[in-house]
Structure 1
């Protein structure tokens, strides 16, 4: 399958002191969204109601985190008319204070996200000084009290020749669609993983157009349960829930989680070789750069040095940050770096952390050749011209590819490096 183009760097044509010194900004796959998130409007229910029902509004549907698409290379969107039976006439008719006071955990509310406005589209939607086509994402996974309605919506989409594209990763979408998909998937996954309060264990409520969750002080479901089960005591039924620390002070919300992760191209002390590693589950001859999570109270540079030493035994000196990549599986921010070995620190020892099956030093020429003919996703065939036994590397939609392209493309000599191939 042809690899999609990468997003264009922001303001690539603007000359500035920074661009002259460091080169143009590197944009990685899953970044470069065309949407203005206007995050400050997520609490404005009048705005959300108007955006939701505008004729130009697009809804990206997900079923068990699988997006609605024509095929793996093109997302498809639904209209408000399509989703109205599931979300109702106006899910934003009540403000957040009313939603919290009337919370009922026994009623399944489909997860709806406001993603932003595409200001390039002259759709006629305007709100004060803001304009553009609104975009939402909606989880249509059949569950709870919405099971039947969700199933009908799914069948309606399939009857149009559309599908919910399954797969561990979706990296064949056009760059702009990939960025919209990444935002939606990460937020839907976070909401699904946090149905209960981390402090008191009670069900939580999604607010702020899907970007925060709160622990309401009342739950009308408790009244329903008490009535249906009956009571043998003199206790008066109440919707009040036990005290929770998240309702005190200003920290009364649960925010989406983003996990910082370092990923690094490691260069030998003489700048002639690159360190690559492989995990046991990967295809034969398939290698990549090393990576790992940033730990609390650790700088990015320290995390790079620690992860490289733990996984390979190699010792790094100078570390520089190259670029970053959102990674919605489930919610990582990949911080791409390039590090150089200290003299005498290049010996590979895999005895510390058993994560890697193998690690080896590869010449820049070998890496450059593999970038030309040997890149692919984990489940895909290598590129045209690849010969069995040659080095295989991640596709250009992965930041690992960008880091390797930078090293072999002149980054170490002061150039910007990288390639869109």
Structure 2
């Protein structure tokens, strides 16, 4: 549905203010004390349980500047702009690291918990999942990238933490460094009749879990080129009729943009020939089998850690592979077939 005019105006205002926070040191420096903070201890974000009745669902434990400062006195020098709130006053959002030795005190003070990243991403809403993904990616880049990749000189940090400028040799060239992301295509492969889905299993997957084929894009590749190549390499299938579905930021093992698509196997190219260096297994699954796998993980997200029987499961809510499979089961209709 179209947005109301007031909502559209506020969205434009949000985007403009966020850009000012990133680029204008004066505006950013004045925003710290009225901001809300997402805290990380190493790779663990600070979350709190949504409510007692939904133990598998969490929310970000946003903290104020004055709550964070006792645990990180350098909060203004080390925080990174994360975004802006959707409230009427459009407050700034920041991400900040705290020393691991302060974990217990912070958890006790705010009745919250520092949670493993994967558990966090699978327990948050889509919007908060995006905050945590961006927050971890930005704070990691800010803490780890200290030197110019062109000349080796130290980098000067913008107050926002969203970019850095070479301090010496590259200065005449105005070499500005930004966080990098890695594009990944993740694809639900369907048979030509559209009644089966190809799911694959990697050795690192939890017991019983199958997912969609995914692979990093190479320089010079289009999205379609990448999808065709990865599927041919990993399962020996040639696909056609590629359609874009949606995208998701994903921070592990490195900041990535997951671009989810659908591809249909060409007639005569549905026999699987797996790359045993990449995959442990790959199978065609019917809608009935896939629905059972989806139901298992929805009813019991802990099954991914406690699947002693090795029952078929798919990735949980929070992973874009989950949405690809669920959409195929519930409402997928091709637009280009």
State the TM-score, normalized to the length of structure 1.
0.67
Look up the match of 2:329.
Answer: 408
Counterpart among 266, 270, 287 of residue 193 in structure 2: 270
What is the deviation of 1:40?
3.3
Q: Do the aligned partners of residues 168 and 176 (structure 1) sit closer, same or farther apart at CA in structure 2, a change above 3 Å counting?
A: closer
Which structure 1 residue ranges, 5 or more long, are not aligned? 1-12, 16-34, 92-109, 123-130, 143-150, 218-242, 416-421
Q: Tell whether 2:161 aligns with 1:210.
A: yes
Please state how far the C-alpha of 1:314 moved relative to its aligned partner.
Answer: 1.0
Please provide the CA RMSD for this pair: 2.8
Q: Distance in 1 between matches of 2:117 and 2:211?
A: 21
Query: Matches of 2:84 and 2:130 in 1, distance apart?
Result: 14
> After superposition, what is the alpha-carbon deviation per residue over 1:269-315, rounded to whole angstroms, capped at 9, x for unaligned?
22222111101232333211110001111010110110011111111
1:168, distance to aligned residue in structure 2 (A): 4.3
Greater helix share, structure number: 2
Supply the distance in 1 between the matched residues of 2:96 and 2:310 (Cα, whole angstroms): 45
Please show how residues 22-421 of structure 1 align to structure 2 within 5 Å. Answer: 36=15, 38-54=18-34, 57-71=35-49, 73-84=58-69, 86-87=72-73, 91=76, 111-120=78-87, 122=88, 131-141=89-99, 151=101, 154=103, 156-160=105-109, 161-170=111-120, 171-207=122-158, 209-217=160-168, 243=169, 246-250=170-174, 252-329=175-252, 330-351=254-275, 354-374=277-297, 376=301, 379-381=304-306, 388=309, 390-413=311-334
Instruction: Give the whole-Å Cα distance in 2 for the aligned partners of 1:14 and 1:255.
Output: 34
What does residue 14 of structure 1 align with? 2
Greater CA radius of gyration, 1 or 2?
1
Give the Cα separation in 2 of the matches to 1:174 and 1:269. 34
Using a 3 Å threshold, how does the CA distance of structure 1 residues 205 and 404 change in structure 2: closer, same or farther? Answer: same
* Closer/same/farther in 2, CA of residues 199 and 366 from structure 1, 3 Å limit: same
Q: For the structure 1 residues 155 and 377, does the alpha-carbon distance in structure 2 shift closer, same or farther, using more than 3 Å as the test?
A: closer
Normalized per residue, the structure richer in strand is: 2
Note closer, same or farther for the CA distance 1:326–1:48 as it changes in structure 2 (3 Å cut): same
Question: Secondary structure, in 3 states, of the residue corresponding to 2:173?
Answer: coil
How big is the shift at 1:259?
A: 0.7
How far the C-alpha of 1:140 sits from its partner, in A, is 2.0
